[in-house]
Amino acid sequence: MELIRGAEELRRATESFRGDASAVGLIPTMGSLHEGHASLIRRAREEAERVVVSIFVNPAQFGPGEDLDTYPRDEGADLEVCRRLGVDAAWAPPAEEVYPPGVALPQPDPGPVGETFEGAARPGHLHGVLKVVHRLLDLTGPCRAYFGEKDAQQLFLVHRMVEEKGLPVTVVPCPTVREPDGLALSSRNARLGPEEREQAGCLFLALSEATALARAGEKNTAILIAAMAREIGATPLARLDYAAVVGEDTFEPVTSLDRPARAIVAARFPSARLIDNLRLPQAS
Ligand code: AMP
């Protein structure tokens, strides 16, 4: 496996991969790799001859007072995971390779969706995500890029950016990997104390209730939202941030389930803020 630090090195490496007619699969990550990341890497391994993983804790997507400095980092372990999974190149750049001083990189606009939900809870977060993903896609060139549904709003905005800018990239959404109690894997889960961890399943429980209501034919999203809010509200260590139902095609709230929609939730625990979502079934 090649370990790459420089931006131009990444450009050259991916060009040379494509030079021998290989499709390139790219998995952007912030490291601290877990089975969720591994599922994206495995999927890329199946679908592309050459697999590139980027590992970069992106300062642009953290707000003041957020956990940039304490975000879990373990490059040695991450590189080992990449090697074990047959990754061809890992790009683990210093910040100045991603954001060269004095260079004004494109700042794609997330638009109004960038101000809601994760964008409202974390101002500037989604701008920072699009900036780094755009930079990464520009350096990597034509590729298949793998993103987790776990971060549904991010996935929605990346997809839209790629379409609007006509980037030569196929965005591949990948299902959320969960613990046995339904908790979505996340690098931040490691921070949860035993009691928090026990209660963290409330997000998936809430989403499962919304799913059950939808499956039973309930179309009024206010009912689903109330059920989700009740479940999380009844969990002593959780503070509800939002519970909503959004259209798959707009990521805007919908009042009735007459088109494809997704239930989304966020909650703050004392040691970590957690998000999750599930695509809702359409009642038959
Ligand atoms: P992160 O390192 O948290 O920025 O995540 C890198 C990529 O892995 C993103 O596309 C995430 O959506 C995805 N990811 C994170 N957690 C999971 C999970 N539990 N299941 C599937 N994909 C995930």
Give per-residue pLDDT as tens, 217-233. 999 999 999 999 999 99
Q: Which atom of ligand 1 is nearest to the CA of 185?
A: 19
| Tens-digit pLDDT profile for residues 65-123 | 999 999 999 999 999 999 999 999 999 999 999 999 999 999 999 999 999 999 999 99
Please indicate whether residue 153, judged by its CB atom, sits closer than 6 Å to ligand 1. Answer: no
Cβ-count burial 48-74 (b if 16+ within 10 Å, e if not): bebbbbbbbbbebbbeeeeeeeebeee
Largest CA distance in the chain: 57
Q: Report pLDDT digits (tens) over 237-274.
A: 999 999 999 999 999 999 999 999 999 999 999 999 99
d(CA 110, CA 179): 31
- Of 265, 257, 264, residue with least CA distance to 284: 257
Q: Distance between terminal CA atoms of the chain?
A: 49
Does residue 173 sit in helix, strand or coil? Answer: strand
Cβ partners under 8 Å of residue 210, min gap 6: 224, 225, 227, 228, 245, 263, 278, 280
Task: Return the pLDDT at 20.
Answer: 82
| Range 25-32 average pLDDT | 98
Q: Report the separation in Å between the CA atom of 142 and the middle of ligand 1, taken as the mean of its atom positions.
A: 21
**What's the Cα-to-Cα distance from 96 to each of 49, 58, 125, 249, rounded to whole Å?**
29, 11, 19, 36
Of 27, 33, 34, 40, best ligand 1 pocket probe by most atoms within 8 Å of the beta carbon: 40
Q: How many A from CA of 117 to the centre of ligand 1? A: 18
Environment class of residue 91 by beta-carbon count within 10 Å: exposed (0-12), middle (13-18) or buried (19+)? buried
Q: Ligand 1, from 66, 126, 150: best to mutate by most atoms within 8 Å of Cβ? A: 150
Q: Compute the distance between CA of residue 61 and CA of residue 43 in angstroms, rounded to an integer.
A: 26
Q: Confidence class of residue 284 from pLDDT cuts 50, 70 and 90?
A: low
* Pocket of ligand 1 contains residue 150 by CB under 6 Å: yes
> Separation of 236 CA from ligand 1 center, angstroms?
27
In the residue annotation, 127 being an active-site residue is answered as no
155-211 residue pLDDT tens: 999 999 999 999 999 999 999 999 999 999 999 999 999 999 999 999 999 999 999
Distance from the CA of 227 to the center of ligand 1, in angstroms?
27
Q: List CB contacts of 167: < 8 A, sequence separation 6 or more.
A: 137, 161
Which phi and psi (to 5°) does residue 283 adopt? -60, 140
Centre of ligand 1 to C-alpha 102, Å, is 31
The string of pLDDT tens digits covering residues 123-152 is: 999 999 999 999 999 999 999 999 999 999
| Residue 21 reports pLDDT greater than 80 | no
CA nearest neighbour of 132 among 174, 156, 161, 152: 161
Q: How confident is the model at residue 22 (pLDDT cuts 50, 70, 90)?
A: confident
What's residue 223's pLDDT? 98
Instruction: Check if 37 has its Cβ closer than 6 Å to any atom of ligand 1.
Output: yes
Distance CA 206, CA 230 (A): 8
Q: Whose CA is nearest to atom 6 of ligand 1?
A: 29
The pLDDT of residue 282: 87
Q: How far is CA 118 from CA 27, 91, 112, 125, 241, in A?
A: 21, 27, 12, 7, 10
Mean pLDDT of the chain: 97
Q: Can you give the pTM of this predicted structure?
A: 0.97
186 pocket-lining for ligand 1 (C-beta < 6 Å): yes
Q: Are 276 and 204 spatial neighbours (Cβ–Cβ below 8 Å)?
A: yes
